[in-house]
Amino acid sequence: MGESWNGGNSVVYFGKGGDIPGNRRDEQELTVLCLRVAQASITYLNTLLIQDILADGSIELTEEDRRGITPLFWSHISPYGEVKVDMTRRISLHGDIARLPDE
């Protein structure tokens, strides 16, 4: 599992071959803390996606399959692509668009 996150580190810190930039300890600590927040966020979203896929019961998993499921994957992340943010919508895991109430 650690190899997956190490691969993610090289994506985030692409300029220095995956190494944390800078030599100041406070900057390095902040960088690592920010990476932890990004990893936790991706893990949470991945967990919700896995639960959503398995919730309808159309996929039968063996005990071995269940042991192999992990939320530590980056394959759906496009780190260098364009990100379009629409603050009037929420992320929906069911495919429908949830609008925020007008204020």
* Residue-level pLDDT at 103: 46
Supply the pLDDT for residue 9: 67
How many other CB atoms are found less than 10 A from the CB of residue 8?
20
Length of the chain equals 103
* Contact in structure between 72 and 5 (CB atoms under 8 Å): yes
Mean pLDDT, to the nearest integer, of 44-52? 86
Is 60 exceeded by the pLDDT of residue 35? yes
Q: How far apart are CA 71 and CA 69, in angstroms?
A: 7
* Cβ-contact 22, 29 below 8 angstroms: no
- The predicted pLDDT at position 7 comes to 66
pTM over 0.85: no
Q: Is 71 exposed, middle or buried (0-12, 13-18, 19+ CB in 10 A)?
A: middle
Structure tokens belonging to residue 56: 């309808």
The predicted-structure confidence for 63-100, as pLDDT tens digits, reads as follows 998 888 888 787 777 777 776 777 787 766 665 555 55
